[in-house]
Amino acid sequence: MENQFNNITNNSSSSIEASNQFSNKKTNRLDSFVSISELQEEAKKLLPKMAYDYYASGSNDQITLAENENAFNRIKLVPRSLVDVSKVNTRTKLFGRDISTPILIAPWAMQKMASQRGEIDTVEASKEFNTIMTLSSLSTTSVEDLSNASNGNPGWFQLYVFKDRKISEELVKRAESIGFTALVLTVDTPFLGKRTADFKNSFKLPNGLSLKIFERLMLSNLDGGLNQYFATMIDPSLTWNDLKWLKSITKLPILVKGIMCPKDAELALQYGADGIIVSNHGGRQLDTCPSTIEVLPYISKVVQGKVPLILDGGIRRGTDVLKALAYGANAVCIGRPIIWGLSSGGKDGVLKVLSLLNSELQLAMALTGINKVSDVNNSIIWDQNKYIKL
């Protein structure tokens, strides 16, 4: 039991052990962390305040930020007994690709504030674990460097659409030509949410770092503040019709990220989205909107398995992943857990987070009598109304 659930049980475990041989000291230190919250504490100790605050913050009073996690804790799982769970497996398939876990890496900006190699560390870890990373439009590594570091298999590319459509078009074509296999169109950010800490800290990228996608455009300085920068560059007039435009310039599947309203899920399907990501941007956009897990069942009812459905926001335990799958998600993305892993130990730290959460998921599956991801359904969620007549 100990071995089965505390070790990484996917086909990448041997290479992870091999890479650890070369960084024994770091690995031993990482071994002592047993939860995402402990890694967050470590990251807080290691990061400059301005970077930690930028990564950790939500918008306004951070009600939704907290609610994303709290809502998971209110959902109860049903333990099941005497089911043969000797061969629990977290492998699954997404857009035809076999992956070792339904836990994917969400796009998050400016990773070189967390580790020297930033996005390169993250993509190497995602490859080694056989999962999918989405690169942010606002990354500190170029799409080309990320593609090279991953031998032409960098994962998915997240798109913020620029006011100058030609820039976006060129970016999409570049990403497509160098091996990205899907586009993630973020639709919850016509303007950036109000993150109080960033204003107080006068957030800017540390000297020596820049947003690589824009470097050529001489727009890499963030002195006016993130919100002003975002408002200058990104197009707030984007509408559903632009999804048609995007489909006309690429052959890649397009996932729409930031869906929180069932009506918008309907529109996303109507306008041809190939996948839907239920997300409130980690509580960083509209504060006091519901948690993502709360709205997931309603969106799942609209989507009805027509396209892959992914959830992000507040996942800190393997039991949270299981609850999202039970409510209809095919996979989840994690943002801050990866940030804390990368900040605490670079590539090994990201691997630590993936293996920690995946082994928790595997254990939770065993304790609810589930052997494979496709067998998860809402019968594992405690609902007293179901049992009231017994």
Ligand X SMILES: CC(C)CC(=O)C(=O)O
Q: Is position 245 annotated in a ligand binding site?
A: no
Question: CB of 122: closest distance to ligand FMN in angstroms?
Answer: 12
Question: CB of 247: closest distance to ligand X in angstroms?
Answer: 23
106 in Cβ contact with 312 (< 8 Å)? yes
Q: Is position 335 annotated in a ligand binding site?
A: yes
- Of the candidates 282, 164, 154, 143, the one whose C-alpha atom is nearest the C-alpha of residue 211 is 143
Q: Which residues pair with 275 in a beta bridge?
A: 255
226 binds, among ligand X, ligand FMN, none (CB under 5 to 8 A by kind): ligand X
135 in Cβ contact with 156 (< 8 Å)? yes
**Complex with ligand FMN: residue 5 or 340, whichever CB lies closer:** 340
Residue 230 in the binding site for ligand X (CB under 6 A):
yes
Give the one residue of 312, 320, 348, 360 binding ligand FMN; rule: CB under 6 A: 312
What's the CA gap between 163 and 131, in Å, rounded?
A: 32
Count how many Cα atoms sit within 13 Å of the Cα of residue 211 in the half-sphere of its side chain: 21
Residue nearest to ligand FMN (CB): 335
Residue 335 in the binding site for ligand FMN (CB under 6 A):
yes
Question: CB of 109: closest distance to ligand X in angstroms?
Answer: 4
What's the CA gap between 313 and 278, in Å, rounded?
A: 9
| Interface map 254-293 toward ligand X (x if CB under 6 A) | ---------------------------x--x---------
Give the one residue of 120, 138, 303, 326 binding ligand X; rule: CB under 6 A: 138
Residue 111's contacts (CB-CB under 8 Å, 6 or more residues apart) are 118, 119, 121, 122, 136, 139, 140, 141, 339, 342
- Which residues are known to be catalytic? 281
**Complex with ligand X: residue 83 or 217, whichever CB lies closer:** 217
Residue 379's contacts (CB-CB under 8 Å, 6 or more residues apart) are 78
The rounded Cα 176 to chain-centroid distance in angstroms is: 21
Q: Report how far apart, in Å, the C-alpha atoms of 273 and of each of 57, 168, 265, 269, 329 are.
A: 30, 18, 9, 5, 16
Output the six-digit token pair for 356.
């920690």
**Complex with ligand FMN: residue 9 or 122, whichever CB lies closer:** 122
Amino acid at 332: V
Residue 279 in the binding site for ligand FMN (CB under 6 A):
yes
Question: CB of 191: closest distance to ligand X in angstroms?
Answer: 10
| Interface of this chain with ligand FMN, residues 51 to 70, rule: CB under 6 A | 54-55, 68
- In angstroms, how far is the first alpha carbon of the chain from the final one? 34
Residue 226 in the binding site for ligand X (CB under 6 A):
yes
Output the six-digit token pair for 68.
């994303």
- Annotated binding-site positions: 54, 107-109, 136, 158, 160, 186, 195, 257, 279, 281, 284, 312-316, 335-336
- Annotated binding-site positions for FMN: 107-109, 136, 158, 186, 257, 279, 312-316, 335-336
Binding site for ligand X (CB under 6 A): 109, 138, 192, 226, 230, 281, 284
